[in-house]
Structure 1
């Protein structure tokens, strides 16, 4: 059998599986789907409710300093930054540092794009959504344009708050992102 590959899922409550049992979290569902497709993978849930890009960068630094390095990282950050209306330039600079750190360690990354999940003015939305393509151009991670694609705005796929996916929504997210994660696995040396 091929060697076990470890993927670190670094994110916020959307990765963590807010309001869901552990087995229904994004990393757990994605790991099951990948194993069903014959991939020998372990996905580590490093999602933290309320986390921002800056918090994710700090957690990545601590993780890399204290644990065996992962073979790849899925980065799902930015939702809380947008909720707090953090300057998109600041979010971009922080995610730039995070992706730079992964590049230095030669750890392939998948960057999941995000959109503001609460109302914001058009200029903010344009600037925020525009930061992800710039990061892709600079670092060439595997890019999945919107983490909540096909789930956001669909009550049947979300908890009552309308932002966090329910178990069915989490399965949909994992199914949608699966081809991109398989591309990420292909970049592991």
Structure 2
């Protein structure tokens, strides 16, 4: 093979490694597979509770059907992260969970609360869960502006604590009127789409089989 071709191939290999290594280092630690008797806690506010639809249409109920695992709906409408922190402490003292879907911060953002305080509360929740060796899936909430991605502290938390993050689905759904029942809440189709996105993420991280 000509020397020039060898050099080009080496350059291509180096380029690919330079691109892939940072991406691989940035990946969160995968989940451990959940046994069939696992209990998942869906923790959050009105979007977890399923505001606006019957309970069987809430995303935790749909996720339970998709996953074949028990999913506890621990959504409370209007809750902020400081309230959620206190409630999580109580829940963890009462019951054992294998995985927690942490979906909080939306009401704080709507109320224009300090990002530093929201992040601090979420940090404490994550640390409580990790101290009990409970697996976590973090769901990001978009900032209060048009075409917003998840608020930046969600990615920061996911990287710091090495936990999986689903940071696209909420921002996508709130921009689609066909998926919403009002300004901030989802309709039946929206909650179905949310559950399916969470299910796919849990499959991708290894918590659930493909």
TM over 0.5: yes
| Greater Cα radius of gyration, structure 1 or 2 | 2
Using the TM superposition, give the Cα deviation of residue 168 of structure 1 relative to its aligned residue in structure 2, in angstroms.
0.7
Using the TM superposition, give the Cα deviation of residue 147 of structure 1 relative to its aligned residue in structure 2, in angstroms.
4.3
Task: Tell me which of 52, 55, 63 is aligned to 1:30.
Answer: 63
Whether 2:84 is the aligned partner of 1:56: answer: yes
**Distance across 2 between alignment mates of 1:16 and 1:184:** 25
Using the TM superposition, give the Cα deviation of residue 174 of structure 1 relative to its aligned residue in structure 2, in angstroms.
1.2
What secondary structure is seen at the aligned counterpart in 2 of 1:164? coil
Q: 1:181 to 1:129 in 2, by over 3 A?
A: same
Whether 2:137 is the aligned partner of 1:110: answer: yes
- Which digits, 9 at most, give the CA deviation of each residue in 1:119-155, with x for residues without a partner? 49xxxx79x8111111112111111013414311211
1:167 matched to which residue of 2?
188
**Distance across 2 between alignment mates of 1:114 and 1:130:** 9
State the TM-score, normalized to the length of structure 2.
Answer: 0.76
The RMSD of aligned alpha carbons is 1.9
State the TM-score, normalized to the length of structure 1.
Answer: 0.84
Give runs of aligned pairs for residues 36-115 of structure 1, distance below 5 A: 41-67=69-95, 69-115=96-142
Using the TM superposition, give the Cα deviation of residue 90 of structure 1 relative to its aligned residue in structure 2, in angstroms.
0.4
Whether 2:40 is the aligned partner of 1:15: answer: no
CA contact (8 A) 1:24 1:170 kept: yes
User: What 5-or-longer segments of structure 1 have no aligned partner?
Assistant: 36-40
CA contact (8 A) 1:16 1:47 kept: yes
CA contact (8 A) 1:26 1:170 kept: yes
Q: 1:131 to 1:49 in 2, by over 3 A?
A: same
1:178 matched to which residue of 2?
199
CA contact (8 A) 2:142 2:171 kept: no
Whether 2:37 is the aligned partner of 1:4: answer: yes
User: What 5-or-longer segments of structure 2 have no aligned partner?
Assistant: 1-34
What secondary structure is seen at the aligned counterpart in 1 of 2:170? coil
Using the TM superposition, give the Cα deviation of residue 3 of structure 1 relative to its aligned residue in structure 2, in angstroms.
3.8
Task: Tell me which of 114, 124, 142 is aligned to 2:164.
Answer: 142
The list of structure 1 runs, each at least 4 consecutive aligned residues, that deviate by more than 3 angstroms after superposition, is: none
